[in-house]
Amino acid sequence: MEKGKYNPYDEDVDLIQDDENVKIVKVNTLNSAQYFGSDFYGNDNWERHYRDGDLYFIISKKDDSLYSIFNDSNGSVIRDLNKHNDIVGVNDVKRAFLSSLKVLSPLIKGGKTYEFLKEVSKGYDPHWRSNGDDPLIDEVKFNTKNPSNSKVIIKFEDDEVFLDTINIGSSDDIYTYRSFTGNYSGRDYDIYNEQERWGQGEYVEYHFNEENKRKAYQIARFFDFKVEEDNFKYIATVLNDHFERDVDDLISEYSTRWQDCIDEVVKDIILDEVGKPFDKFGIKEIYKGYRFETTVGVLLHWYQDIENYRFTLSDLLNKLMVLYDKKERGYWGDLEYGVDCIDWDDDYIQGYYSKCLDRMLEKIEEDDDFINIDEYRNINDVINDKYGHEWRNTEKDPNIKFLIIKVEPETNKVLVNVHNDKTKKTHQRLLDLDGLYQLDNQPELFNEIRIVRKKFL
């Protein structure tokens, strides 16, 4: 459009000011917007955006300074047309037109939050009726003597909004924050993995103290007297086979207490990172990540510092964090795997292990399969100390050797394989301790004797 053929002053603009320094116009049509500005303000932008607000152009008569101010319900957007219509701050346009501030300043509007706070600072008491439509302003406690000192209570009802405001926006960090610090669905205990560790013998080897290792070994020997004291995996297997519920209780108690302890450590680290994020801005933390307190005057100061009056309170706080806060936060996804439980109560858990093991021993003692539990234990001790569990030659006759298979609990007799190297024959015998002694020291007495093995039920 050729400017010479179009005169916007006929009816398409309101002339706000026209002196030797500046001309300020409010444009009312697409043609006038393009006349003073450019196509940036026309066509689709006009239809979608500028027609629904107030668009002003500030034209310098001293130099080539040219700015636009667009006001809608969210406040003013100021652009420098000589910088490709880049958005600039309030002070930029004010410095360019110092002689016209009385006319210019009223044209610059803030967003709902800023205008609300400004009204309060001038004496407006909102009571409970209004918060400027800002979701973070929970309450304004009006100060009649000094309205600018009225307290503003800030509340983050949504964790995600709080984290985003302090520049923690990843979905992983939001999930981790909620998992460890919130009251959501809670965290699942990794019982399955702990059961795997039990099956590998890790509990007996690494978690049990020496007394509990001894008890676990003693229990396992009731079911396999040949078990080796340091075969922790096999000991764990025997205990689980015969006392699965007790083992489950033991695992559950450890895993829940350990994870609760780790969770508390992680929670403390996270809350320490996010704690008091706005203190340096005069915004006091009342409850971590949720409730904060400041004054109207403090917030207005930061709006003026940031030079963006359109910002919501969340936008303002986020901008302050970007500009002035250098603390690193977030990346919490793997935090639980790199911390230790510094307040772990090992005395308690060892006591719990001991109770579980004692319960197993009590069940063994009450088991009808054992005719005499003390005698059974004594026979096994004698075998371990004197005979062992490998083939051995008798004391009197090196041609005869024997191998102790097991002690049968229902009779407390020792099942023994006896082999004669001369005859190349092997047979089984059930012997008491005296009979075992005679086999070892007077094997000739047994040359013709056969003891049929009883079936173990």
Here the tokens at position 161 are: 């909004």
Average pLDDT over residues 414-437: 91
Greatest mean pLDDT among 66-75, 104-113, 138-147: 138-147
The residue with tokens 């933390």 is 285
Give the pLDDT confidence score for residue 69 in this predicted structure: 95
Mean local confidence (pLDDT), 78-85: 94
Amino acid at 282: G
Are 209 and 350 within 8 A, CB to CB?
A: yes
Q: Helices in 307-430 by DSSP H: which ranges?
A: 313-324, 346-365, 373-382
Token pair 């400041």 is at which residue? Answer: 294
Question: How much is the CA Rg of the chain, to the nearest whole Å?
Answer: 43
HEC-encoded secondary structure of 156-217 = CCCHHHHHHHCCCCCHHHHHHHHHHHCCCCCCCCCHHHHHHHHHCCHHHHHHCCHHHHHHHH
Res. 9 pLDDT band, cuts 50 70 90 = confident
pLDDT level of residue 439 (50, 70, 90 thresholds): confident
Distance between CA 285 and CA 282 in Å, rounded?
10
Residue 283 has pLDDT above 70, yes or no: yes
Query: What number is the average pLDDT over the span 79-108?
Result: 90
Mean pLDDT, range 363-385, rounded to an integer: 84
Given the structure tokens 């801005």, which residue do they identify? 281
| Predicted pLDDT of residue 54 | 94
Per-residue tokens: 210: 């020496």
Asked if the model's pLDDT at residue 455 lies above 50, the reply is no
| Average pLDDT of span 357-382 | 86
| Per-residue pLDDT, 451 | 44
> What is the pLDDT, as a whole number, of residue 448?
46
When pLDDT is averaged across residues 406-414 and rounded to a whole number, the result is 89
**152 beta partners:** 140, 294
* 443 touches 435 (CB < 8 A): no
Tokens linked to 397: 């006759």
- Residue 366, pLDDT > 90, answer no
- Short-list 160, 179, 175, 163, CA closest to 329: 163
Residue 361 to residue 201: CA distance in whole angstroms:
19
Instruction: Check pLDDT > 70 for residue 456.
Output: no
Q: Return the pLDDT at 457.
A: 39
Using the CB atoms, write b or e for 268-291: b if 16+ within 10 Å: ebbeebbeebbeebebbbeebbee
How much is the mean pLDDT over the chain?
90
What tokens does 107 get? 């044209």
Run of H or E residues at 59: strand 54-60
Q: Are 107 and 70 contacting, i.e. CB atoms less than 8 angstroms apart? A: no
Question: Which of 430, 410, 409 minimizes the C-alpha distance to 418?
Answer: 430
**H or E, element range at 119:** helix 112-121
Tens digits of per-residue pLDDT, 219-259?
Answer: 998 888 788 999 999 999 999 999 999 999 999 999 999 99
Q: What is the DSSP string of 238-295?
A: HHHHH-HHHHHHHHHHHHHHHHHHHHHHHHHHHHHHHSSTTGGGT-EEEETTTEEEEE
Tell me how far apart the alpha carbons of residues 254 and 268 are, in angstroms, rounded to a whole number.
21
Confidence of residue 443 (pLDDT cuts 50, 70, 90): low
pLDDT band of residue 314 (cuts 50, 70, 90) is very high
Decide: helix, strand or coil at residue 225. Answer: coil
Q: Could you tell me what percent of the chain has a pLDDT over 70? A: 95
pLDDT of residue 449: 47
pTM for the complete prediction? 0.70
